[in-house]
Structure 1
């Protein structure tokens, strides 16, 4: 998994778009617990009503999404943004999510499955 600065995100999106790759992009803004993370994942990733709202279910859902991307374009990409609140409120949840993404991406060929964790803008930087 790679750490990406927020200023580099538009260029990454552009490169992926030019390559015809639709990344799984998950904005965690406002999530402050495992429950809110799972709710966001269920809604954003359009998971079925039976989604288990647990780490195993999220792992399976992301794996299926990455496999579908990989089958279509030879590349699977996950981008996580907006993790500031979750990092402060539930650092153990962030650690588990990062470990899950690392395990997912390493279970594929490292050249064809990528995960990016977007770092928040620095407090002293310019506004978005």
Structure 2
């Protein structure tokens, strides 16, 4: 299934869907900037792990659907290679947010971005 077909299927099912493209991201600062942009976070977003954890469950970009919420993470391999510790932390935060908010699904695209 392609990214487009996945997000289209989510929308068809009444889900809100956001793509977080991490292609070219090599560090935490760029990762946080991408998250802020993709998730439509406010300017005062703290760009730290705690702020991201808090924001994932009430992101303006992930509201409006009548069903679940999908965060599709693409191009993450660059970040995982360049900053494995930071990537591990990001995965923990994604997982915890999905566990706490049963409507949130975080999917990692395994193919090219």
TM-score, length-scaled by structure 2:
0.84
Equivalent residues, number = 112
Which ranges of structure 1 fall in alignment gaps of 5 or more residues?
1-6, 122-127
How far apart in 2 are the matches of 1:44 and 1:77? 12
Matched with 1:90 is 83
In 2, the alpha carbon distance for the partners of 1:44 and 1:106 equals 21
Q: In 2 relative to 1, CA 42–10 (structure 1 residues): closer, same or farther, beyond 3 Å? A: closer
3-state SS in 2 of match to 1:31: coil
Deviations 1:60-97 (A, max 9, x none): 1111128x63x741312111111121011001111111
Q: Does 1:44 align with 2:38?
A: yes
Stretches of structure 2 that go unaligned for 5 or more consecutive residues are none
Residue 120 of structure 1: how far off its partner (Å) = 3.3
Q: Deviations over 1:22-66 (max 9, x none)?
A: 212211111100111011122232322211110011111111128
Alpha-carbon contact 2:41-2:59 (below 8 Å) kept: no
- Is it true that 1:10 corresponds to 2:4 in the alignment? yes
Task: Tell me, yes or no, if the aligned pair for 1:27 and 1:81 is still in contact at 8 Å.
Answer: yes
Equivalence for 1:114: 105
3-state DSSP class of the match of 1:59? helix
Work out which of the two has the higher radius of gyration on C-alpha atoms and give 1 or 2: 1
TM-score norm. by structure 1 comes to 0.75
Q: In structure 2, what is the equivalent of residue 63 of structure 1?
A: 57
Which 4+ runs in 1 deviate beyond 6 A?
A: none
